Chain A
Amino acid sequence: MAEIVAERYTGASIKRSEDPRILTGAGRYVDDIKLPGMLHAAFVRSPLAHGLVLSVDVSAAQALPGVVAVLTGADLEPMTVPGPDPLMALLGWAGPTPEFTLLATDKVRFMGDPVAIVVAESRYLAEDGCELVEVDYDDLPPVVTAAFALDPGSPPLFANLGDNIARPHSRNEFGDVAGTFAKADRVIDFHIDVHRHQNVPMEGRGCIASWDAGLAAMTVYAATQSVHITRTGVATRLGIEPDQVRVLAGDIGGSFGLKIGASREELAVAAASRHLGRPVKWVEDRGENLTASGQAREESFDVRAAVSHDGDLLGLDVKTVIDTGAYPGMGMGAMVPDIMQAMLPGPYQLAALGFESTAAITNKATYVAYRGPWASETFVRERVLDLIAKDLGLDPVEIRLRNVALRTDPPASMITGQPLVGVTSKESLDRVAQLLDFPAFRRRQAQARAQGRYLGIGVATFIEAAPGPRGPDGALGSESMRLRLEQDGIVALFTGQMPHGQSHQTTLAQIAADEFGVPFEQVRVVVGDSDVVPFGLTGGSRSATMTGGVALHGARELKAKVLDFAAYLMEASAQDLLITDGDVWVRGDPASAIAVSEVARRAAAGQFGADVDAALEVEATFDGGAGGWSGGTHGAIVAVDVETGLVQVERYVAVEDCGALINPAVVEGQIRGGIAQGIGAVLLERSAYGEDGSFQSATFMDYLMPTTCDVPRIEIEHLETVPLDADVNFRGVGEGGMVVAPPTVVNAIEDALAPFGVRIYEQHLPPARILELIAAADSGQ
């Protein structure tokens, strides 16, 4: 008699359950939704970087046929309640809190600052209406650099702060900084700049807010990384109870950290809907997305490195200034230094770290979270290692191998406290060096140089807390999930995760299917309804561990419950029961099999005594288990055309360790996408402002995105995992590619330009800049 055997899904590149709808145009993104009576909104936005709003005349706009309402910042004030951004509140921001109105009333603080909302029968008409709103501005001197912002003479953007400091200067030291620097053979100074660039998901921000006056209920169709955080934001600002707000999210066209909480525009849309008693839709266009949605990464670093003659990196002393743009309360810029500080040592054994930071407020779009918000610490560290190597005559792999922490038991700790448990940086470095074959490359490089062609090779190593080790303070947070066996035999997982490309509907189903014992198709992952799913947020590279873990343990708990009930039904002992392929059966007796749907149906239909638990549902939580790091080493070979400055990435390899892979194709997709963003940052992408604060990258002709011809085939190898936990060894991988690709590529470019004596202290290297660097090095600057 044939044994029923379960399929194994975890670890296989199972085809995505998202794809049939994605591939046929049946996805449901916010802009696809049409509600009866729905209106459309557009925003009047400031053309100035900094100015006083003297008057706003909406009469001509209101008179335009098709325009239903125009609400100014002043109109919205009595309709809303001031409150903190929900994400910042969740993260516990306790620093300077600028006070500002929902839409600009007295002042505009960046080009694109929303001043009024026009609601009309169509987006076309709403934009027509916006053009008819007359705003009288008085220019104020713009604060366009962090340096000027930190100058006490700069005009304060916020009256209640009195200065332009989003986060006051602070300094922390780990280890004996003074002593380490005093004893070092050499101390080398660098100044490194990272440029402003941004998330640019293919779908911009947007929502439909629908107020039902009869029920006093607000429904928001959102594009968000957390329906609950958006709900909190909307409820707080509208001054209503959270249970009066329901947030629904369907398919989301990418986010990369942008769509979290509730933006000022979305809150204005909600207020407008309540005011009008009709659904109002706002979907930002690309100009708004580039100009106003938020930007990231504009940071400068003064770095001192204490080194030995042999290339030991003994200590780093880093001073950073972050340009958080206007409205820092709406984004996490001012909190980024904390993560940077914690992560700066990376997988290296430093004896000392000094870290100081300040965050400045400027007349630019708000600094928002962008995939790997702390990434510049890896850029700085990996750049500095190469620069030191060059100064000391060492090779880039050699200096890293010299300094990388080895895997010991107990594990080494970062000087900032976190244990480097399970970190395989050395192994990844060795393997990348092997894959790139440095000696062969150096020969090819020399031949190419003789022909006037400049090839370069670069590597960089990183770790990311995905979710991070169970550190000194012990906590990794927790993740909840509700799991239920439905009457049709479907195992339903209700999660607060809000996938926007991460394929959770597939990966979580793989885990649950394996653990519970049903076919993959018999698991349904339910997301995107704040009335139905537990609290959660997709972000921070946590879901593989936290949600994968709660899915595994939750499925196990649910299975135990189901088996207890099935034991009652089948008059067997639960220990003798198995679930495979969707059937419950007695071990050794395949003929006893009954479908789980039958078990569920009978649980729902029957009447049982108090000692029989027929509620086939569990609320599971998971604390992260052993947690862990992800990380690895990337390597690139580039070709630099020194006559035009154009750079081609010829080859890119990534050796990474994210523990056990749930779905290799999904993992690799995440890595490649992050790498593409890193290549984009170095070669193409810049959120550019003029000296007057005007934004200059408001179209895709100016903000250049990497294309199929800019991103090569990326070779990915996964390292054998170091299991830390009996069950949950999946670790996150969402952000790493974007964190480590920029230094990888810049290191390769500097190597290509070594014959010219070029040293690179910045991240953005468009063709014109490459030629400038060559010319400057030539002339000995």
Chain B
Amino acid sequence: MKLPPVEYEAPTTVTEAIDVLAEQLDEASVLAGGQSLIPLLALRLARPAVLIDINGLDELSGVSATDGWVAIGAMTREYVAEESEIVADAVPLLAAALPLIGHEAIRSRGTIGGSLAHADPAAELPAVARALDAEFVLRGPSGMRVVPAARWFEGYLTTARRSDELLLEVRFPAAGRGTGVSFAEVARRHGDFAIVGLAVSLVLSGEVISDARLAFAGVSDVPVRATAAEDLLVGERPSAELFDEAARRATDDLDPPADLHGSSDYRKTVAAAIVRRGLRAAADNARERQ
């Protein structure tokens, strides 16, 4: 499985990168960490005419906190985000999900922006971004724009990024007091993609859930917010019965895909179990963090 012939550009500035993108449009693939793209090329499933390697864009790396938001540059390696104290402190859901991404060697090269631009619906970061209503900062020939997570994931491996735009950074809202998180997933083996995964962020005010965000990985062609369950949870006190009902509401309308690793029914059954477990773990986490 050798990569097919391809042209290669390695811009040194964001402006240069955007110029090349504008020229190449759909003929180009952006090469960030390469942990998803290079296998696709090696399997000859992807055949871009040009690879635009943005690993030279140092300005796109970094984690910073301002004004209730944590901005993570698109080229920030996953392991850097994993080791970041800012992330651990202010985006605990991201911190919970990162160690589940593949294996250490993958996270050495894989990037926050790359994973979110690739948008595999079974991956962890898209579910996190969707749960937290992250914001995607893009720049193109016509300037900057910000896309909220709710509009970022358009379809299977398809995002709102236009072919002439570069994802610069992803912003996550900083977690408030009383936040508890969990990332629960069912995978065939340690480090595998989730068969079904769930990102949960709850806020407990006293003993009452004042905010609830649940987003699934692996149940559709995009990450899915379980809004019916969220609506049920807000204003209630955590209990097994509540979480059972939340699991039912979260999964009633799911029609997950079937593949070698599980039928649609299997994913739906497991999704319900994951909701119960994820909510319990997030509630426990909230109490620990109080």
- Which of A's residues lie within 8 Å of B, judged by CB? 123-124, 127-128, 131, 285-287, 643-646, 684, 686, 688, 696-697, 699, 701-702, 704, 706-707, 709-710, 766-768, 771-772
Decide yes or no: A767 and B188 within 8 Å by CB, A123-B2, A696-B260, A702-B260 being known contacts: yes
Give 11 A-B pairs besides A131-B4, A286-B1, A699-B43 with Cβ atoms closer than 8 angstroms.
A127-B1, A131-B44, A643-B273, A645-B266, A701-B193, A702-B260, A704-B189, A706-B189, A767-B188, A767-B262, A772-B266
Complex Cα spacing A131 to B270, Å: 41
Complex Cα spacing A580 to B210, Å: 83
A-B pairs, top 4 by smallest CB distance, nearest first, are A643-B273, A768-B266, A709-B190, A124-B2
Q: B245-279 toward A: CB 8 Å interface, digit per residue (1/0)?
A: 00000000000000011110010011001000000
Residue pair B189, A684 in contact (C-beta under 8 Å) = yes
Interface size range of chain B in the complex: 20 to 34
Q: B281 in the interface, Cβ–Cβ < 8 Å?
A: no
Q: Determine the chain A residues whose CB is within 8 A of the CB of B260 once the complex forms.
A: 686, 688, 696-697, 702
Residue pair B189, A710 in contact (C-beta under 8 Å) = yes
Complex Cα spacing A124 to B195, Å: 34
Complex Cα spacing A606 to B79, Å: 70
CB contact list, B179-207 vs A, under 8 A: 186, 188-193, 195
Q: B146 in the interface, Cβ–Cβ < 8 Å?
A: no
Complex Cα spacing A699 to B260, Å: 12
Complex Cα spacing A684 to B3, Å: 29
B266 touches which of A124, A697, A706, A771 (Cβ 8 Å)? A771
Q: B143 in the interface, Cβ–Cβ < 8 Å?
A: no
* Centre residue among B3, B4, B188, B193 by max chain A CB count within 10 A: B188
- Output the nearest chain B residue to A287 by Cβ-Cβ distance: B1
- Output the nearest chain B residue to A127 by Cβ-Cβ distance: B2
Residue pair A684, B188 in contact (C-beta under 8 Å) = yes
Complex Cα spacing A697 to B269, Å: 25
The smallest C-beta distance from A676 to any residue of chain B, in angstroms, reads 13
Residue pair A768, B261 in contact (C-beta under 8 Å) = yes
Q: B1-15 toward A: CB 8 Å interface, digit per residue (1/0)?
A: 111110000000000
- Output the nearest chain B residue to A40 by Cβ-Cβ distance: B2
Decide yes or no: A643 and B270 within 8 Å by CB, A704-B189, A767-B186, A767-B262 being known contacts: yes
Complex Cα spacing A543 to B281, Å: 54
Q: Determine the chain A residues whose CB is within 8 A of the CB of B186 once the complex forms.
A: 644, 646, 767
Complex Cα spacing A684 to B190, Å: 12
Complex Cα spacing A768 to B269, Å: 10
Q: Determine the chain B residues whose CB is within 8 A of the CB of A701 once the complex forms.
A: 193
The dominant DSSP class at the B interface is loop
Complex Cα spacing A702 to B262, Å: 12
Residue pair A767, B266 in contact (C-beta under 8 Å) = yes
Decide yes or no: A768 and B5 within 8 Å by CB, A707-B190, A710-B189 being known contacts: no
Q: Determine the chain A residues whose CB is within 8 A of the CB of B191 once the complex forms.
A: 707
Decide yes or no: A704 and B188 within 8 Å by CB, A285-B1, A286-B1, A768-B261 being known contacts: yes
The dominant DSSP class at the A interface is loop
What is the total of A-B residue contacts with beta carbons within 8 Å? 59
Complex Cα spacing A127 to B192, Å: 29
The smallest C-beta distance from A66 to any residue of chain B, in angstroms, reads 11
Q: Determine the chain B residues whose CB is within 8 A of the CB of A768 once the complex forms.
A: 261-263, 266
Q: Determine the chain A residues whose CB is within 8 A of the CB of B266 once the complex forms.
A: 645, 767-768, 771-772
- Output the nearest chain A residue to B189 by Cβ-Cβ distance: A707
Residue pair A128, B5 in contact (C-beta under 8 Å) = yes
The smallest C-beta distance from A646 to any residue of chain B, in angstroms, reads 7
Q: Determine the chain B residues whose CB is within 8 A of the CB of A704 once the complex forms.
A: 188-189, 192
- Output the nearest chain A residue to B267 by Cβ-Cβ distance: A768
19 A-B interface contacts by CB (under 8 A): A124-B2, A127-B2, A127-B4, A128-B4, A131-B4, A131-B44, A287-B43, A643-B269, A644-B270, A646-B186, A684-B189, A696-B260, A706-B189, A710-B189, A766-B188, A767-B186, A767-B262, A768-B266, A772-B266
The smallest C-beta distance from A650 to any residue of chain B, in angstroms, reads 16
Q: Determine the chain B residues whose CB is within 8 A of the CB of A688 once the complex forms.
A: 260
The smallest C-beta distance from B258 to any residue of chain A, in angstroms, reads 9
Q: Determine the chain A residues whose CB is within 8 A of the CB of B193 once the complex forms.
A: 701
Q: Determine the chain A residues whose CB is within 8 A of the CB of B3 once the complex forms.
A: 124
Q: Determine the chain A residues whose CB is within 8 A of the CB of B43 once the complex forms.
A: 287, 699
B189 touches which of A128, A285, A709 (Cβ 8 Å)? A709
Complex Cα spacing A643 to B1, Å: 38
- Output the nearest chain A residue to B273 by Cβ-Cβ distance: A643
Q: Determine the chain A residues whose CB is within 8 A of the CB of B2 once the complex forms.
A: 123-124, 127
Q: Determine the chain B residues whose CB is within 8 A of the CB of A285 once the complex forms.
A: 1
Q: Determine the chain A residues whose CB is within 8 A of the CB of B195 once the complex forms.
A: 767
- Output the nearest chain B residue to A684 by Cβ-Cβ distance: B188
- Output the nearest chain A residue to B1 by Cβ-Cβ distance: A285
Q: Determine the chain A residues whose CB is within 8 A of the CB of B44 once the complex forms.
A: 127, 131
Complex Cα spacing A447 to B191, Å: 31
The smallest C-beta distance from A531 to any residue of chain B, in angstroms, reads 34
Complex Cα spacing A286 to B269, Å: 33
The smallest C-beta distance from B227 to any residue of chain A, in angstroms, reads 24
- Output the nearest chain A residue to B5 by Cβ-Cβ distance: A128
Decide yes or no: A644 and B273 within 8 Å by CB, A768-B262, A771-B266 being known contacts: yes
CB contact list, B130-158 vs A, under 8 A: none
* Centre residue among A128, A696, A699, A767 by max chain B CB count within 10 A: A767
Complex Cα spacing A768 to B190, Å: 17
The smallest C-beta distance from B176 to any residue of chain A, in angstroms, reads 32
Complex Cα spacing A97 to B67, Å: 77
Complex Cα spacing A49 to B192, Å: 30
Q: Determine the chain B residues whose CB is within 8 A of the CB of A131 once the complex forms.
A: 4, 44
The smallest C-beta distance from B247 to any residue of chain A, in angstroms, reads 10
Q: Determine the chain B residues whose CB is within 8 A of the CB of A699 once the complex forms.
A: 43
Q: Determine the chain A residues whose CB is within 8 A of the CB of B262 once the complex forms.
A: 766-768
The smallest C-beta distance from A704 to any residue of chain B, in angstroms, reads 6
Q: Determine the chain B residues whose CB is within 8 A of the CB of A771 once the complex forms.
A: 266, 269
Q: Determine the chain A residues whose CB is within 8 A of the CB of B189 once the complex forms.
A: 684, 704, 706-707, 709-710
- Output the nearest chain B residue to A697 by Cβ-Cβ distance: B260
Complex Cα spacing A509 to B281, Å: 57
- Output the nearest chain B residue to A704 by Cβ-Cβ distance: B188
The smallest C-beta distance from B240 to any residue of chain A, in angstroms, reads 12
